[in-house]
Structure 1
Amino acid sequence: MVDCFRKIIRNEGFSRLYRGISAPILMEAPKRATKFAANDEWGRFYRTLFATPSMTQSLSILTGATAGATESFVVVPFELIKIRLQDRASAGKYTGMLDAVVKTVKAEGPLALYNGLESTMWRHILWNAGYFGVIFQVRALLPPATTKSSQMSNDLLAGAAGGAVGTILNTPLDVVKSRIQNSPRVKGQVSKYNWAWPAVGTVMREEGVAALYKGFLPKVLRLGPGGGVLLVVFTGVMDFFRKMRGEEVREGAEL
């Protein structure tokens, strides 16, 4: 990871580290909102379906996985543009996010923005299943929160553990998703990487299992602590709106 930082800065300049930043910035708010809103709605649906009054770990995993699939539809176009902007081979090909969108649609058609939908769904299914499933389990193991600060500590720890486990589970699908989305569709040609699980097999066969975890360290350093911060912020914001509406504030949002 450090070697990658050094070479990018030396060969391409410091600003290259932030190339393609507009797409993830625009993606973050709808992505996170969809994640928790979908998790909440699917949780209600599954509790009704299985006649279960409260969440269990199995339901947390199932609900998280379904929310991840839902979230994918929001994420895919942003992810595709981000990857193409950040890829070194594309340097100079696009002047910015809108230019990348226009050129991609013009060359490959509007549906090209959803290239990699299937692999993105698998990536988010695995991450969200791990994230919400681990949050439920860690919360059950921790001492009950009695103060606002202890609630924040519990959420930070549970969310960080969930983010780390989710990253372990979904990194192979993230690797193949990037390869699928960074392979422009050429009429009459079959892309090397098309579908998620066959692509996993191709990478394993040609490069070994370790190749499926390329980029794992920077990813887990981002999504582990990020998962904790995400849960703390979500819980705090939900408590704030409950107070505004005169509702009872619960210790930790039910996920």
Structure 2
Amino acid sequence: MGVKAFLEGGVASVVAGCSTHPLDLIKVRMQLQGQPEPPAAALRPAIVFLSSSTVAIPYQPTAARRPGPIAVGAQILRAEGTAALFSGISATVLRQTLYSTTRMGLYDILKTKWSSPSSAGEGSPAAVLPLHRKITAGLIAGAVGAAVGNPADVAMVRMQADGRLPAAERRNYRGVGDAIGQMVRREGVGSLWRGSALTVNRAMIVTASQLATYDQAKEAILGKGLLPDGLPTHAAASFAAGLVAAAASNPVDVVKTRVMNMKVEKEAPPPYAGALDCVMKTVRAEGPMALYKGFVPTVSRQGPFTVVLFITLEHVRSLLKDL
């Protein structure tokens, strides 16, 4: 039962992660909007002609309306090509294999254990697990999965963000193995767990809200006889789960993305001293709604991701039910 739960969750997670990877990349690029531009761009001179003399003055960026998800996607296609939408997909596969396989399998095991006949009382059938226990199972499973998968998460964020940097400053990782190897060599093993507290917090929020909402919504739909147990029920419950998970996790996700992506130069202080410092600097510079940057692509990605995840999971379960 234990191995089967991890296998089912792992297969469903990898399929869902790969199919929604471009939306995740757009979300990451939008979450990084508003950060200080690299020095090469910030110090670009502007040439002003005054009568017969020429004066060079520092470039002053003007406030502009930031592009939405469709514009960001089109920008990536124009500047970097179609393949750029799949930058970091090897890291996505590894992340889903480590993080999501762990959280999905562990959640299923805890849910089964806590809803067994013995926990419901002698002579009682296996009870429907109360919502608070589903949330607790999600919090535990998310924390463990995030701790296991953090190195792949850091590599994925960096690979997805690389294209926004000037060519001379790009990391140019060849794949997730190269990314992890370079991080260890240049920044130490500890860099693989940079932002891990944020990753764990986000994963606890996402897993608890996503998995608990899916189970609760599915039970409500079936219990009230609104739909039979099939594709429409799975799609409706998973869409509700994706929406709740996106709304709950977006602020933590923005901070996690920025902390993981920051460049730390030798003998120089890091751009952010930690998660709280990142929150304060982001809110001061860009306003509180900056914590909901990338929300539209987050919903656009989390909705399809969750739908594909649970529909695939239900299908894999039906295929493996006799094992």
TM-score of the aligned structures, taking structure 1 as reference length: 0.83
**What is the CA distance between 1:190 and its match in structure 2?**
3.8
Aligned 8 A contact 1:20 1:96 in 2: no
State the match for 1:248 in structure 2: none
State the match for 1:71 in structure 2: 145
Aligned 8 A contact 1:155 1:228 in 2: yes
Aligned 8 A contact 1:161 1:228 in 2: no
State the match for 2:270 in structure 1: 191
Distance (Å, rounded) in 2 between the aligned partners of 1:142 and 1:117: 36
Q: Determine what percentage of the aligned residue pairs are the same residue.
A: 27
Distance (Å, rounded) in 1 between the aligned partners of 2:81 and 2:312: 34
Distance (Å, rounded) in 2 between the aligned partners of 1:13 and 1:100: 21
Distance (Å, rounded) in 2 between the aligned partners of 1:199 and 1:238: 41
Query: Structure 1 residues 229 and 18, CA, compared in 2 at 3 Å: closer, same or farther?
Result: closer
Amino acid at match of 2:165: A
Deviates more, 1:132-141 or 1:114-123: 132-141
Distance (Å, rounded) in 2 between the aligned partners of 1:223 and 1:43: 23
**Is residue 2:225 matched to residue 1:118?**
no
Q: Give ranges in structure 2 of 5+ residues lacking alignment.
A: 1-68, 121-125
Please state which structure has a larger fraction of its residues in helix.
1
Q: Runs of at least 4 residues of structure 1 off by over 6 A?
A: none
Q: CA RMSD in A?
A: 2.6
Compare CA radii of gyration and give the structure with the larger one: 2
Query: Structure 1 residues 197 and 4, CA, compared in 2 at 3 Å: closer, same or farther?
Result: same
**Is residue 2:187 matched to residue 1:108?**
yes
**Is residue 2:76 matched to residue 1:8?**
yes
Secondary structure class of the residue paired with 2:270: coil
Amino acid at match of 2:160: Q
State the match for 1:26 in structure 2: 94
Query: Structure 1 residues 70 and 40, CA, compared in 2 at 3 Å: closer, same or farther?
Result: same
Aligned 8 A contact 2:263 2:271 in 1: no
**What is the CA distance between 1:12 and its match in structure 2?**
2.6
Distance (Å, rounded) in 2 between the aligned partners of 1:65 and 1:202: 28
Distance (Å, rounded) in 1 between the aligned partners of 2:137 and 2:314: 18
Aligned 8 A contact 1:85 1:96 in 2: no
State the match for 2:232 in structure 1: 153
TM-score of the aligned structures, taking structure 2 as reference length: 0.67
By relative contact order (CA 8 Å, sep 6+), the higher-ranking structure is 2
Aligned length: 242
Q: How does 1:84-95 map to 2 (within 5 A)?
A: 84-87=158-161, 88-89=164-165, 91=167, 92-95=170-173
Q: Deviations over 1:101-154 (max 9, x none)?
A: 2221111111211111100011111111111221233123213499x9743321
Distance (Å, rounded) in 2 between the aligned partners of 1:201 and 1:130: 26
State the match for 1:179 in structure 2: 258
**What is the CA distance between 1:182 and its match in structure 2?**
1.0
Query: Structure 1 residues 236 and 183, CA, compared in 2 at 3 Å: closer, same or farther?
Result: same
State the match for 2:30 in structure 1: none
